[in-house]
Every structure is written in structure tokens, then in C-alpha cells.
């Protein structure tokens, strides 16, 4: 692989303190280096250079996305992707095929994507699909919040075994982070019930979601995992749920964070959990309350889950919410129960510009991004495909960077967005540096990916070049920004050009990242006695067939975690 030097580009690299400076970037052996001699030159004059995008929360592999693919032939017909001399054919709208997923992320300049919900017993399937997804690096977040062993150890107050099980399960599934979905609610859904709020009862365990979140957050920091707990709060999609979200954030406030970071909790797709009002008829924005809390506290980060006005496929590990959505819409519905560990639901949905509630939801996502003062605390996502497909990221960028873009959209919407959100009176417009924070630098930092999200010496040679001159661009030209960020002039992955002028030119296999957390031998030995006994009693697979072998990760990057015992 030939060395590369990128010359004369306007570099936006917030982690390195570079804000639009004209600077040359040198790449060698898959890394950013000080300088190179005999190198291929890419002239980036008049163009933006940023680290490769890092998506903190998306759904691209595993059982849920496959249910979506199976149940929606109409979704496939609307976006059939032809093969080229380099790429395979596929389908690509709200539930794109694995190959199309990799191509389209790379075309936008994204080089790392996190699969946000991996059921442990389905981990092999997840990794097979991640292997099938070309170009991008990826990782999968293991589901913990409704796991039988977690419930048991929280109930028994056995914190050491809880920590040991968390570390073991991350290793067994080759997972990267602790994902929690509607803690306790999905366990209750096995009996057709939910749990409401942090202090509802989890059936058969006599514990509460508050106890589950507290125990997992505390153990997560003691294990010194690279990312905080990744939390989908209780009461998702219910008007008035911003109060539950604030209460949940406060649970992690007193937990001591891992050395080297301030945060102890990441709240996902917060737009769906920032609703005020009493019902869907009078729903309004709760974003100001959430923003006020984040502006006053350092221990929380969140991502948007920005709504897009389109037809999409909602899918989540929150089975009871998907049942409620089916009752509201009458659309197709699939419910999935994952043995002792998790569950899921899938319902197609269309977000409409004339729907008052949908327009309020759209406004909430943008309000969160604009009202939270520090962009290092709030990250850009659509919760793909729940709020809309990830291919709409350039449109979200335009809304963040241009009040004119937001105003033009609001003119097309139901007037509820003007009456029930404060978006019309918000004049903030993101800078390119802030955009780089919420799409790559901040997300990489939150995930603990030290070689991602920046272009300092030693960083992975993952970067994007966009054909847009930041010195001439103005917010009124937002359509130019959308066009440029939809099709990167160049995407470079691991030092190799994979996209040129918006077209995929190479399809290398990206690495899968996972965390190997340390467990003292005596504690692990004691834990495994429990696990072996319970597997024989409750599971449909044997324990020896449960863990993911290294053969499922032909290209992997292992992150070692320390831990306090």
C-alpha cells in the first residue's frame, strides 16, 4: 500500500485542536505519521478534511435488522442497488443489505459504526453479518438490561459475580459495551407486561429498573470498560417521559467514573425520551429540560435519534414499546423473544410532515443538539433505522448548520412544531468544527476509541475529504453542504482510498473491536459453576456452544480492560 500525503486541505480535527487550518496530512502503513517521502499526493485545495466518521449508535446487523429485511419487500423494491466492477448488488433503503450498508457509510466518509444491540445468544449471527459488511470498522454492544443472570445477581446483591458475569459475557460475545434497553421492562414483557419508570417492579425478582441501572453503571466503571453504559431509558415513546429520563440520568451522577473520564452514562436516541405533555394529542418538547440538565452536569452524554420525514422500519429491543406502536398504527408487527436474555419488536412506520406529533419529535431532536451548549456531550444519530435511515445524515448536518434549512423545512410542517417546540426562535448554527465533534471526535472519545476520531500522529489512517470550501460556504448554501457530505470526494480507510468522487473504489474488510475485561481466577471459577448449572436448566444451547470463537472475527482489535476487584 503506497504512502499518501493529503495537501492543502482545510483540516477540522477537534481532538488535535485544529479548526479549519490549512495543513498537510501524511499516511503510512495504515497510520497518520509526521511525514512521508515517496508518496501519492492528493490535492485537497479548497476542500474539507476530517477524520473518518464514527457512528455511536446504529442497527446494522443481527436478528432485528434481519426481521426488518424479511418483512419488508416493499422497502427493498424502492431502492435496488446495481452491482459495479467493485461492488455487489443489493437493496438499500431503511433495511439495507450488509454490503450496501458498508458502501453507503463509506460514501459519506464514515469509517467506524457501532451496532447498538446484540443479543448474546445471537452473537455469532451478528459477527457473521459484521464480517459481511465491507470497509468500515465496527463493534457490537451486548444486551444486559434484561438478562436472567443480571436480574439474579442484582436481586441477591452479589456485586462481584455481577461484575464477573459482565466481563465474561462481553468476552463470550466479543462485545464492546454494556447496552441496556428498557431495564426490567423486556423481562416483564415475557408475561405480557411492561415496567413503568425507574421504580416499577420487575416480575419474579422483586427488583426495580433503578437497581439494575445503578448496579450495571457501577460495575461498568469498576471494570474500567472503555465506554459507559449505553442506555435506552424506560418509558420510551410516552408523552411526559422526559421526567423519567432526567431521573435516570441522575442515577449515575454519584457513581465514580473510570479514571480519565467524567462520564458514567450515555443516553441513546434521546429524542424518543424527551417528550413533554400528557398524551399524543398535546405532546410537546421536553428538550429544554434535558438540555438544562446536561448543561449543568458532566456525567452524561447522549445521541439524538433525529427523526426524518420518510417511510422507515422501527426496530428495538424494547418489545413492549413496539407492541404499543403496533396498536397505534395497525401496521405489520413482529415480536421476538430471546430466551433468558432480551427481546425485540419490529414495526414499519412513516413519519409525516402533516402529523403534529411527528413534527414535534422532529423539533425535539434538533432542539437537543442546539440547546446543549457543549457539542462533546451530544452526538448526531438517527437511531438508524428507527428515526430514519443513516443515509439522511447529510440532511441532519444541514439542519444543524443552517437556520435557513430548518426554516425551509418548518414551512412544510404542521404548525404544531411552531407552537410546541422552541425551534423557530433558536438561531444557533453549528460550525464545521462542532460538526466534526458530533460526528467523529466526540463519538470516538465517548467510545474510548483512542486511535479514531482524530488525525494526530499514531491515529488510524481513517479520514474523509469533502468537496466544499469552508471559507466560501454560507448557511444559505445548505444544499451544497448536503451534496458534499452525501458523496465524499475521498474516503480513506486504513490508509487505502476506498471512495473517490462519491464512488466506492475498494472494499477491504474492516476490523471488529471488542473488549476483554480482566476477572480474578477464583471469582471466574465460582461464576462458571453458576453459569454451567443454569445453562443446563434453562438454555436451549449448551454452554460450550455459546461463546463466539475467534474464527468469527478474522480481523479483530481487542481492547483490554483493567478493573478494580
CATH code, 261: 3.20.20
Is residue 189, in this structure, part of any structural domain at all?
yes
The gap between the terminal CA atoms of the chain, to the nearest Å, is 45
Residue 209 domain boundaries: 56-412
| 85 within a domain of the structure (yes/no) | yes
- In a domain? residue 140: yes
* Number of structural domains in the chain: 1
Contact by Cβ (8 Å): 552, 545? no
Q: What is the chain's pLDDT, residue by residue, as a tens digit (565 residues)?
A: 799 999 999 999 999 999 999 999 999 999 999 999 999 999 999 999 999 999 999 999 998 999 999 999 999 999 999 999 999 999 999 999 999 999 999 999 999 999 999 999 999 999 999 999 999 999 999 999 999 999 999 999 999 999 999 999 999 999 999 999 999 999 999 999 999 899 999 989 999 999 999 999 999 999 999 999 999 999 999 999 999 999 999 999 999 999 889 999 999 999 999 999 999 999 999 999 999 999 999 999 999 999 999 999 999 999 999 999 999 999 999 999 999 999 999 999 999 999 999 999 999 999 999 999 999 999 999 999 999 999 999 999 999 999 999 999 999 999 999 999 999 999 999 999 999 999 999 999 999 999 999 999 999 999 999 999 999 999 999 999 999 999 999 999 999 999 999 999 999 999 999 999 999 999 999 999 999 999 999 999 999 999 999 999 999 999 999 877 7
Q: Taking the CA atoms of 115, 170, 536 and 551 in sequence, report the sign of the dihedral they define.
A: positive
Question: Is residue 403 in a domain?
Answer: yes
Residue 114 falls within a domain, yes or no?
yes
DSSP state letters, 278-305: SSTTS-EE-HHHHHHHHHH-SSEEEE--
Distance of CA 65 to the CA centre of its chain: 14
Is 439 a member of any domain? no
Residue 90 is classified by DSSP as E
| 420, part of any domain | no
Residue 494 belongs to some domain of the structure: no
Q: Are 113 and 138 in contact (CB under 8 A)?
A: yes
Amino acid at each position: 500500500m503506497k504512502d499518501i500525503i493529503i495537501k492543502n486541505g482545510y483540516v477540522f480535527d477537534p481532538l488535535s485542536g485544529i479548526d479549519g487550518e490549512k495543513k498537510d496530512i501524511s499516511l503510512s502503513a495504515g497510520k497518520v505519521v509526521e511525514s512521508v517521502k515517496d508518496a501519492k499526493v492528493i490535492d485537497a485545495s479548497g476542500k474539507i478534511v476530517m477524520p473518518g466518521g464514527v457512528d455511536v449508535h446504529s442497527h446494522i446487523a443481527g436478528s432485528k435488522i434481519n426481521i426488518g429485511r424479511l418483512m419488508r419487500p416493499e422497502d427493498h423494491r424502492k431502492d435496488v442497488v446495481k452491482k459495479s466492477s467493485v461492488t455487489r448488488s443489493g437493496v438499500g433503503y431503511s433495511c439495507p443489505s450488509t454490503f450496501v450498508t458498508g458502501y453507503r457509510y463509506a460514501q459519506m466518509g464514515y469509517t467506524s459504526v457501532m451496532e447498538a444491540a446484540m443479543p448474546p445468544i445471537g452473537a455469532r449471527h451478528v459477527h457473521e453479518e459484521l464480517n459481511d459488511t465491507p470497509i468500515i470498522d465496527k463493534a457490537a454492544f451486548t444486551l444486559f438490561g434484561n438478562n436472567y443472570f443480571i436480574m439474579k445477581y442484582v436481586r441477591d446483591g452479589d456485586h462481584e459475580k455481577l461484575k464477573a458475569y459482565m466481563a465474561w459475557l462481553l468476552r463470550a460475545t466479543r462485545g464492546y459495551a454494556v447496552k441496556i434497553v428498557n431495564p426490567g421492562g423486556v423481562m416483564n414483557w415475557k408475561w405480557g407486561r411492561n415496567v413503568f419508570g425507574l421504580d416499577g417492579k420487575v416480575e419474579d425478582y422483586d427488583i426495580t429498573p433503578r437497581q439494575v441501572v445503578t448496579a450495571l453503571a457501577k460495575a461498568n466503571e469498576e471494570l474500567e470498560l472503555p465506554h459507559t453504559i449505553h442506555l435506552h431509558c424506560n418509558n420510551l415513546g410516552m408523552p411526559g417521559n422526559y421526567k423519567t429520563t432526567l431521573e435516570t440520568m441522575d442515577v449515575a451522577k454519584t457513581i465514580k467514573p473510570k479514571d480519565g473520564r467524567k462520564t458514567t452514562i450515555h443516553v441513546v436516541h434521546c429524542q424518543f425520551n424527551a417528550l413533554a405533555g400528557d398524551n399524543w394529542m398535546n405532546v410537546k418538547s421536553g428538550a429544554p429540560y434535558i438540555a438544562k440538565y446536561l448543561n449543568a452536569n458532566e456525567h452524561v452524554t447522549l445521541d439524538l435519534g433525529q427523526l426524518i420525514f420518510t417511510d422507515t422500519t422501527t426496530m428495538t429491543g424494547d418489545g413492549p414499546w413496539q407492541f404499543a406502536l403496533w396498536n397505534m398504527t395497525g401496521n405489520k408487527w413482529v415480536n421476538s423473544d430471546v430466551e433468558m436474555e432480551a427481546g425485540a419488536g419490529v414495526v414499519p412506520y412513516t413519519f409525516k410532515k402533516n402529523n403534529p406529533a411527528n413534527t414535534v419529535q422532529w423539533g425535539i431532536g434538533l432542539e437537543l443538539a442546539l440547546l446543549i451548549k457543549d457539542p462533546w456531550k451530544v452526538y448526531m444519530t438517527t437511531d438508524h433505522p428507527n428515526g430514519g435511515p443513516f443515509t439522511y445524515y447529510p440532511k441532519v448536518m444541514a439542519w444543524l448548520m443552517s437556520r435557513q434549512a430548518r426554516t425551509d423545512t418548518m414551512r412544510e410542517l404542521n404548525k404544531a412544531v411552531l407552537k410546541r417546540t422552541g425551534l423557530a426562535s433558536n438561531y444557533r448554527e453549528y460550525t464545521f468544527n462542532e460538526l466534526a465533534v458530533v460526528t467523529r471526535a466526540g463519538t470516538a472519545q465517548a467510545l474510548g476509541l483512542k486511535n479514531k476520531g482524530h488525525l494526530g500522529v499514531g491515529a488510524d489512517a481513517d479520514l474523509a475529504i469533502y468537496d466544499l470550501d469552508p471559507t466560501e460556504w454560507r448557511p444559505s448554501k445548505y444544499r451544497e453542504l448536503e451534496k458534499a457530505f452525501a458523496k465524499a470526494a475521498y474516503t480513506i480507510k486504513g490508509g487505502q482510498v476506498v471512495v473517490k468522487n462519491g464512488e466506492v473504489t475498494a472494499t477491504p474488510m474492516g476490523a471488529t473491536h471488542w473488549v476483554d475485561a480482566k476477572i480474578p481466577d477464583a471469582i471466574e471459577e465460582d461464576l462458571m459453576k453458576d453459569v454451567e448449572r443454569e445453562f443446563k436448566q434453562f438454555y436451549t444451547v449448551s454452554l460450550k456452544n455459546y461463546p463466539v470463537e475467534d474464527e468469527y472475527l478474522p480481523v479483530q482489535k481487542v481492547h483490554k480492560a483493567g478493573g478494580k476487584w
